Amino acid sequence: MEKLIITAAICGAEVTKEHNPAVPYTLEEMVREAKSAYDAGAAVIHVHVRTDDGKPTQDRARFAEILPAIQAACPDAILIPSTGGAVGMTPEERLQPTELNPEMATLDCGTCNFGDDIFVNDMPTMRAFGKRMIENNIKPEYECFEIGHLDTVVNMAKKGLVPGDPMQFNFVLGVSGCTPATPENLAFLVNKIPAGSTWTVTGVGRGAWPMVATGIIMGGHVRVGFEDNIYLERGVKAKSNGELVEKVKAFAKLLGRQIASPAEAREILGLKAR
């Protein structure tokens, strides 16, 4: 079975220090958490950025400060900046990190309920994001929160509106109001992806660890991190993103999967060596 790529989503846009004091805001905290995950075995770091007081931002200058600092601490890691940002941001705000020409970035594949809010990704937004990623030679990680998101983005790829083969999907399951985090739902999604594609599963909240186990068994890749879940187990908060990655490694060892290095992850994802 293919080696397991572990992604660490180190802070997200919604979780705060009130939820877990280890959630990073500042440049130094972001580097600390990225390095903890990288040292534990994460080949990919998914990056949202915050202001020093914790407010989510998509400011180009903030990304330009934080991405190189993380790369210096985690030299060969794959960094995937978010273009999702936070609910309520404009498409123009959200696209700012793509101006820095990262090798990968997320591309959200449709509008959905997001707790009490609506996360808007209409077709004009998706076409604009796809055009930018084609122009800047950025490989998207296609984030699908619903079953219809997958069908939408695959059809867009067939029309040349977003980058195509090979496609990398991240199935984000368990968000309140979206597709529940169940093995049946994950299996349905995986069975619908184009041949040659790769996929990662993200389980949110209580779905985190069941999806880690299911993703490993099914031969896919997994994402953990404070963006999605702050607990090592019921009632026990993780002290770092690295602790969450270490638990993934323990699952992988029990289930017979080896962990991919950043270089191996690049080969699996079809990225050029750096």
* CATH number of domain containing 211: 3.20.20.70
Show the DSSP H helices in 50-122 as ranges.
60-73, 91-94
Asked if the structure places residue 191 within a domain, the reply is yes
Percent share of the chain, pLDDT over 90:
97
Q: For 97-148, how does the pLDDT look when each residue is reduced to its tens digit (9 = 90+)?
A: 999 999 999 999 999 998 899 999 999 999 999 999 999 999 999 999 999 9
> Tell me, what's the pLDDT at 71?
98
**What crossing angle do the helices spanning 147-158 and 183-190 adopt, rounded to 10°?**
10
Asked if the structure places residue 1 within a domain, the reply is no
Asked if the structure places residue 100 within a domain, the reply is yes
Which residue segment(s) compose the domain that 101 sits in? 6-269
> Tell me, what's the pLDDT at 166?
93
Asked if the structure places residue 122 within a domain, the reply is yes
Asked if the structure places residue 45 within a domain, the reply is yes
Percent share of the chain, pLDDT over 70:
99
| Mean pLDDT split into 10-residue runs, the chain, 274 residues | 97 97 98 98 98 98 98 97 96 98 97 93 98 97 97 97 95 96 98 97 98 98 98 97 98 98 97 73
Global pTM value: 0.97
Asked if the structure places residue 274 within a domain, the reply is no
Query: What is the distance between the alpha carbons of residues 74 and 81, in angstroms, rounded to a whole number?
Result: 15
- Looking at the structure of the chain, the number of domains it has is 1
